[in-house]
Amino acid sequence: MDDRKKDVIRETDAAAVRLARTLLRGARFGALAAIERDTGWPLASRVGVATDIDGTPLILVSMLSAHTGAILAEPRCSLLVGEPGKGDALAHPRMTILCHAKRLERGSDDHARAERRYLNRNPKATLYAGLGDFSLFRLEPERASLNGGFGKAYALTSADLVTQGPVVAELAASEQSALDHMNAEHLDAVAVYARHFAKASGGGWTLTGFDADGMDLVAGDEVCRVFFAEPLKSARELRPILVDMAKAGRAAT
């Protein structure tokens, strides 16, 4: 009789990667775990979350906070994302990402891009983002542990979460103008994306971000994620894909 313990980690497949990226792109907050600077004890704190255009988590934190001092002294940390729903909280998907925290320098291109994306996703943070004691960090993933619910555990790599290639920089350069155009001129199409592709209810949806995999939308405190049928290979593909998706969504209603 083979009494060896069954491996509980499933083989990572496309569905697991899609779930992981959905949890990360959909997060507005998470639990940051760090090592307390003076004691070496684990320290967990809730932080606001957004994602950079490549999928790397972003946090905006005060330099006066204990967790900020912790990640400056020891950049290794982890971020837990995934909101519980009704019933047993442990039956709902969540993911822990093991990261290296990198503080972004004010005035740099990386900081400007990250701040723009963070505030698009968390507009209330505009009240304090410009204060001198607040800093933006990229939490660069090393690996991740995805729990999709009971019996659905996966071990993910950085490549499963973060997009690489020239398309990242291309989209970063044109993203905001595309967002501004869609939100100013084509909110009818944005509503189609939310309703048809994300199965979201209600109205008032606006776009907060584009990336190679898809787009993020918000309506008040509600968020939804829409994936493209295929990842973008270049920024030039964005406009025709948006047009085709709007046509397909309208034809289906």
pLDDT digits (tens, 9 = 90+) for 131-175: 989 999 999 999 999 998 888 899 999 999 999 999 999 999 999
Fold of 8-162: Pnp Oxidase; Chain A (2.30.110)
Residue 197 has pLDDT above 70, yes or no: yes
**CATH 3.20.180.10 describes domain 164-248:** yes
State the pLDDT at residue 90: 83
| Contact criterion met (CB below 8 Å) for 209 and 215 | yes
184 has a pLDDT exceeding 70: yes
Burial class (CB within 10 angstroms; exposed 0-12, middle 13-18, buried 19+) of 78: buried
CA distance linking residue 210 with residue 234, whole number of Å: 12
pLDDT-derived band at 6 (thresholds 50, 70, 90) equals low
Annotated domain spans of the chain: 8-162, 164-248
Between CA 155 and CA 161, with CA 159 as vertex, the angle to 5 degrees is 75
Q: Which residue has the higher pLDDT, 187 or 88?
A: 187
Indicate the pTM of the whole model.
0.94
Q: 45-102 pLDDT, tens per residue?
A: 999 999 999 999 999 999 999 999 999 999 999 999 998 888 888 888 999 999 999 9
